[in-house]
Amino acid sequence: MQTVSIIMPVYNAEHYLCEAIESVLKQTYSKFELLLINDKSTDRSQEICMEYSKKDSRIVLLENNCQIHGPGPTRNIGLEHATGDYIFFLDADDWIDERLLECAVAHMQETVADVVQVGVIHENGADALRYSWKGKSLLRKVDIERDFSSCWKGINTFLWIHLFRFELIKTVRFKNIINGEDLCYLMDALSSVETITFVEEVYYHYRYVPGSTSHRWNRDMISCRGDIWEHQRRFLDSLPGHADPLIYAGVAYENYTWALRQLSTNSCQLSYREKKRELSELKDRMDFDSYRSIYSLKLQHGLLRLKYMVVKYHLEGIILLFGSLIDRVERAVQSVACKYQKES
């Protein structure tokens, strides 16, 4: 029976930490080690981790005593101490269904794949959206380019829904950036593997926590998005035969509109002029105008298509001015989609 190393960075997660740990302890696949890495928490997180580590020998408490903090460097400490055959990442404010490890390991062994991707539920209060991978089977490295061309709907960019064969990614490490370190890691990991397979069932529960590190406004987030774009572009360059220009354009649009949304949220305190300058600097760094006309709006639908249309025709100022209103409309539409999904 092979061991799964579960890496969980912990920072001020006392309200959700017990649920996350308990979801691991309830796994029907018992051969695992849970590495809890405390990143200088100031609440009861360290105390909670210590209590669990004393109760179960499979739980190991580690401390990030380095000068560099954040989820990326903290996960790297877990990778350095991991002893398992497989690697799985779990955030301290999320939780997993009890059969996740059993099904993912069985699927990996059955298909002899290097990576297994499971389904995920996005939970935001009473709303929840399911993302599963019906109809997907074994995907080889030579097929990855084609899968990216379908707007990333095959290989999902969420790090934590993947089980990795550890021997193939032992040298891959997280970058020390304020946002998107998980996405960059996934790109590097996928460059090191040959096959990925999919489990249809939904097993990972991602919880949206307002004010968490990944959702808190920070001015460096915009320049960081330029770092992510450059990383993604290098990944696309490495694909067999290189990627279609449409794929590059799609990824460029995704990063640019992400930055646009961050600049238009209520938590962003920059002036309109400052927002335009931040966006302009990112646009120049990405050479975004060279992709603006390439992208086909037919690849998107609904509000996202409308947002991409605004960008395509150089009307970003509208979103910067009325972003909070657009955000409320988008959340209302998502709530309706969640209710429809539940009914169906």
- Does residue 192 sit in the same domain as residue 271? no
Q: For residue 44, give the amino acid letter.
A: R
Looking at 155, 181, 207, the residue that finishes a domain is 207
**Residue 116, in any domain of the structure:** yes
- Does residue 10 sit in the same domain as residue 129? yes
**Residue 243, in any domain of the structure:** yes
Helices (H), the chain: 17-25, 45-55, 71-81, 100-111, 141-148, 181-191, 220-238, 245-263, 272-286, 289-292, 302-312, 316-343
**Residue 153, in any domain of the structure:** yes
- Does residue 119 sit in the same domain as residue 159? yes
Looking at 207, 242, 263, the residue that finishes a domain is 207
- Does residue 196 sit in the same domain as residue 66? yes
Q: Which one has a higher pLDDT value, 12 or 305?
A: 12
- Does residue 156 sit in the same domain as residue 242? no
Instruction: With a cut of 80, say whether residue 304 has pLDDT above it.
Output: no
The C-alpha angle 295, 240, 88, rounded to 5 degrees, equals 90
pTM of the predicted model as reported, rounded to 2 decimal places: 0.84
Condensed to tens digits (0 to 9), the pLDDT of residues 56-105 reads 999 999 999 988 889 999 999 999 999 999 999 999 999 999 999 999 99
Looking at 207, 234, 259, the residue that finishes a domain is 207
**Residue 259, in any domain of the structure:** yes
- Does residue 187 sit in the same domain as residue 247? no
**pLDDT at site 153:** 46
**Residues 6+ positions from 182 with CB-CB distance below 8 Å:** 71, 72, 89, 158, 159, 160, 174
- Does residue 236 sit in the same domain as residue 138? no
Give the mean pLDDT of the chain: 83
**148 and 236 Cβ atoms separated by less than 8 Å:** yes
- Does residue 177 sit in the same domain as residue 230? no
Cα Rg, the chain, nearest whole Å: 20
Of 291, 115, 127, the closest CA to residue 194 belongs to 115
- Exposed, middle or buried by CB within 10 Å (0-12, 13-18, 19+), for 136? middle
Tell me how far apart the alpha carbons of residues 170 and 184 are, in angstroms, rounded to a whole number.
Answer: 15
- Does residue 66 sit in the same domain as residue 175? yes
CATH code of the domain covering residue 150? 3.90.550.10
- Mean pLDDT lowest among 87-91, 97-101, 180-184, 247-251: 247-251
- Does residue 201 sit in the same domain as residue 318? no
Condensed to tens digits (0 to 9), the pLDDT of residues 102-132 reads 999 999 999 999 999 999 988 876 556 777 7
**Residue 38, in any domain of the structure:** yes
**Residue 178, in any domain of the structure:** yes
**Residue 212, in any domain of the structure:** no
- Mean pLDDT lowest among 107-111, 215-219, 314-318: 215-219
**pLDDT at site 150:** 46
**72 and 178 Cβ atoms separated by less than 8 Å:** no
Torsion region of 219: left, alpha or beta (phi above 0 gives left; psi -120 to 50 gives alpha): alpha
Condensed to tens digits (0 to 9), the pLDDT of residues 144-177 reads 655 554 434 456 778 899 999 999 999 999 998 8
Task: Give how many domains the chain has, as a whole number.
Answer: 2
- Does residue 247 sit in the same domain as residue 131? no
Domain range for 251? 217-343
Paired sense of beta strands 59-63 and 195-207, if any: unpaired
- Does residue 112 sit in the same domain as residue 250? no
Q: For residue 100, give the amino acid letter.
A: L
**Residue 112, in any domain of the structure:** yes
How crowded is residue 50: how many other Cβ atoms within 10 Å of its Cβ?
A: 14
Tell me how far apart the alpha carbons of residues 169 and 171 are, in angstroms, rounded to a whole number.
Answer: 6
